[in-house]
Amino acid sequence: MLRSIATVSVSGTLVEKLAAIRAAGFDGVEIFENDLLYFDGSPADIRKRCADLGLQIMLFQPFRDFEGVSKERLAQNLNRAKRKFDLMHELGTDLVLVCSNVNANVIADDALIVDQLGELASLAEREGVRVGFEALAWGKYVNSYRHAWRLVDAVNHPSLGLILDSFHTLSIDDPVDPIADIPGDRIVFVQIADAPLHKMDVLEWSRHYRCFPGQGDLDVARFADRVLATGYQGPFSLEIFNDGFRAAPTAATAADGYRSLLYLEEQAAHQRTGQSAQPLFTPPAPPAHSGFQFIEFAVDSTSAPRLAQRFAEAGFHTAGKHRSKDVTLYQQGDASIVLNAETDSFASEFFHRHGLSLCASAFQVDDAARVFERATSFGYAPFSGRVGPNERVVPGVRAPDGSLHYFVDARPDEPTLYEADFVLDAQANGQPAGPGDLTRIDHVCLDLPADTLDTWVLYFKAVFGFEAESAWLLPDPYGLVRSRAVRSADGSVRIVLNASVDGRTSTAQSLHIYRGSGLNHVAFVTDDIFAAVEQLRARDVRLLRIPLNYYDDLEARYDFADDMIARMKDAHVLYDRDAQGGEFFHVYTEQMDGRFFLEVVQRKGGYDGYGAVNAPVRLAAQAQRKHG
Which residue positions form the known binding site?
Answer: 134, 165, 191, 239, 443, 521, 599
Task: Give the span between the Cα atoms of 59 and 8, in whole angstroms.
Answer: 13
Which residues, other chains included, contact 199 with Cβ-Cβ below 8 Å and sequence gap of 6+? none
Shortest CB 543 distance to its own copies, Å: 13
B/e letters for 213-223, b = 16+ CB within 10 Å, e = fewer, are bbbbebbbbbb
> Which of residues 109 and 553 has its CB atom nearest to its own copies in the complex?
553
Shortest CB 256 distance to its own copies, Å: 17
Residue 78 lies near its own copies (rule: CB under 8 A): no
Task: Give the span between the Cα atoms of 261 and 191, in whole angstroms.
Answer: 11
Which of 475, 581, 605, 606 touches its own copies by CB under 8 A?
475
Q: Is the dihedral of CA 558, 559, 565, 566 positive or negative?
A: positive
Shortest CB 547 distance to its own copies, Å: 5
Binding to its own copies (CB under 8 A) within 312-371 occurs at: none
Binding mask 166-205 for its own copies (x = CB under 8 A): --------------------------------xxxx-xx-
Task: Give the span between the Cα atoms of 106 and 101, in whole angstroms.
Answer: 7
- Whether 472 contacts 616, CB under 8 Å: no
Binding to its own copies (CB under 8 A) within 30-49 occurs at: 33-34, 36-43
Q: Checking phi first, is residue 218 left (phi over 0); if not, alpha (psi -120 to 50) or beta?
A: beta
Strand pairing partners for 337? 295, 330
Residue 72 lies near its own copies (rule: CB under 8 A): no
Q: Which stretch binds its own copies (CB under 8 A): 9-17, 277-285, 326-334, 367-375?
A: 9-17
- Whether 59 contacts 32, CB under 8 Å: no
- What ranges make up the beta strands (E) of 368-517? 382-383, 396-398, 404-409, 422-424, 438-448, 467-468, 472-476, 479-487, 494-500
DSSP one-letter string for 548-561: HHHHHHHHHHS---
- Whether 170 contacts 189, CB under 8 Å: no
Binding mask 228-257 for its own copies (x = CB under 8 A): ---------------x--xx----------
Which of 231, 402, 477, 609 touches its own copies by CB under 8 A?
477
DSSP one-letter string for 592-627: STTS-EEEEEEEETT--S--GGGHHHHHHHHHHHHH
Binding mask 127-166 for its own copies (x = CB under 8 A): ----------------------------------------
Which of 270, 539, 542, 557 touches its own copies by CB under 8 A?
557
Q: Is the dihedral of CA 62, 63, 65, 66 positive or negative?
A: negative
State the number of binding residues for its own copies (CB under 8 A).
Answer: 57
Q: Which stretch binds its own copies (CB under 8 A): 28-36, 267-275, 281-289, 594-602?
A: 28-36
Residue 92 lies near its own copies (rule: CB under 8 A): no
Which of 330, 363, 550, 610 touches its own copies by CB under 8 A?
550
- Whether 265 contacts 228, CB under 8 Å: no
Tell me the binding residues for a divalent metal cation. Answer: 134, 165, 191, 239
Contact residues toward its own copies (CB under 8 A) are 11-13, 15-16, 33-34, 36-43, 79-80, 83-84, 87, 198-201, 203-204, 243, 246-247, 475, 477-480, 501-505, 545, 547-550, 552-553, 555-557, 616-617, 620-621, 623-624, 627-628
